[in-house]
Amino acid sequence: MARQLRRATTPAERHAWSLLRNRGVLGLKFRRQHVLHGFIVDFYCAGERLIVELEGDAHDGSDRQAYDAARAAFLKAAGYRVVRIRNRDVARERLAALLREALRRPPPVDCL
């Protein structure tokens, strides 16, 4: 499934990957469409336990927002930092600012 998602990326995901790959933002190494605890996350930096999730219009519905919140809570409880960014906001400077902010916070305590 993750392999299929890597082939069928959205324009925002392709743009974000072009920025994040090859340590392009803050020198962090990211993987795309990575499986963690049964969830496929958009981008994952293992060294910092940092997840970047892109949100398009499909994430605006109340059912999807509830699912996204529960998923993020589960991943945070598992000790990951989760950064959410709207598709329209994907830019190198914006990603760098969000990632810097996330890295300033201590990682959540691994509860699982």
Looking at residues 82-99, what average pLDDT do you find?
92
CA neighbor of 89 nearest in space, from 52, 64, 61: 52
Can you list the domains of the chain with their CATH numbers?
A: 11-104 (3.40.960.10)
Output the pTM of the full model: 0.85
Question: pLDDT tens digits, residue range 38-57?
Answer: 999 999 999 999 999 998 76
- In 21-99, where do the E strands start and end? 31-36, 39-45, 50-55, 81-86
Looking at residues 54-61, what average pLDDT do you find?
71
